[in-house]
Amino acid sequence: MKEVNIILFGVGNVGNTLISQLLENKDKWKKKKGLSVKIPVIANSQRAIFNPEGIDQDWKEKLKTSSEVYDLEDIIKFSKENKLENIIAVDATASKDIVLEYPKLVRSGFHLVAANKVANTLSDEFYTELRKELEVHKKHFYYETNVGAGLPIVQTVQGLHQAGEKVTKIRGVFSGSLSFIFNSFSDSDSDFSEVLKKAGELGYTEPDAREDLSGNDVGRKLLILARELQLKKEFKEVKIQSLIPEQLNGKTSVEEFNERISELNEIFEKQKKNQKKDHVLRYVGELKVGSGSLEAKLISAPRESALGQIEGADNIFEIYTKSYGNHPLVIQGAGAGAAVTARGVVSDVLKLSQRLNK
C-alpha cells in the first residue's frame, strides 16, 4: 500500500469541494489502486487542524473548535515528527504569501499541486528558481487547473512541446465567467448588468466582478501557456483589454460598483448592435508564438465558428501547430466551478502519486 499525505492550504469553495471528493473516493483508491490518501493537515490563512491519521468528515467542526494558530514551520515540524511519507502540499488559495513559501516546502520534502495561479505568473526569475529547486530536490509540481479548470490544457501543451511539435498559436475563450457573460448576453435581450448579476449569483464571478472584467485572469493564463513553450515573458508584457470603464475602476468601492453597473449597459449594447449579422461577442486570449505576442481582448466572432458556438461557462482552446496546419487541436468543456476545478486537483494528486516510488 502506497501512502500519500496531503497538506491542504485553503478551505474556500475549491478546497471544501476537494476535501469532499478525496474523502468520498479514498476507500475506492485503496481497493483498486493500492493507494492510501490521507489529509493530516488542513489550514486556512490563520488556523490549522493536525491529525497524523488524517482528518475525517467532521473536519469543519474541528476547524472551528480545535484548530490552532500556525506558521509554516509548525507544519514542516509536524510532518517530520510524524514521519509522513509522500507529502503533497495542495494550494487551493489565491494567496501570494503561500506561493513565496513554495521553495521552502520543496526543500523540506514536499511535492506541490496548485489550483493557485500565482506561482506561474510571478517574475520569470521566481518561475525559473522554483523549477531549479524542484529539480535539485527531485520533487514534482502539478498545476493543470491553472488553465481551463478541469480541462487537460497544460498537459497537452507540455506534451506537444516536449515531443518536438512546433506550437504556432493558441487562441480561445479562457475564462469561464466571461464565457458565461458574453454567451448569455449575445443570446438574450437582457441588459449586460442583469447578465453580470446572474453570473455572480451562480458563483462564476469573483465577489468584485471587476476582477473578471479586467481581463487579468485571461492574461495570467496566456502567460502560463507561453512559459510552457519556453517563452520568457512577464505579466506586464501581456496586452490586456479591460472591460471596466474608467468611472467604475478600482477607485470606487465594490458596493458602489454594484450599485452603478447599469452604466455598463449602453457600452456593451452598442458593441452588440454594431456587429456583422450572425456574429457574437467573445472575450478571447491569443498567443502567437512566432512574434511572442500575448493579447486578451473582446472580439466579434461568427456564430457558426468554434468560438461562436460555445455555451454556458464553457472554455475553448484552439491549439495550432506545424503538423495540424490550419486545422487546430480543439479542447472544449466546462471552464468554471468548484466541482470541476477540485476534480482537476484530484487528478493531479493521482498523477503525481503514480510517479512516487513508495
Residue tagged active-site, from 30, 221, 288, 297: 221
Name the β-bridge partners of 239: 295
DSSP string, 54-92: ---TTHHHHHHHS-EE--HHHHHHHHHHTT--SEEEEE-
Do strands 314-321 and 167-173 pair parallel, antiparallel, or not at all (unpaired)?
A: antiparallel
Q: From CA 260, how far away is CA 253, in angstroms rounded?
A: 11
C-alpha span between 19 and 47 (Å, rounded): 17
Q: Is the dihedral of CA 288, 289, 293, 294 positive or negative?
A: positive
232 among known catalytic residues? no
Q: What count of Cα atoms within 13 Å lies in the side-chain half-sphere of residue 285?
A: 31
Residue 328 to residue 325: CA distance in whole angstroms: 7
Residues marked as catalytic: 221
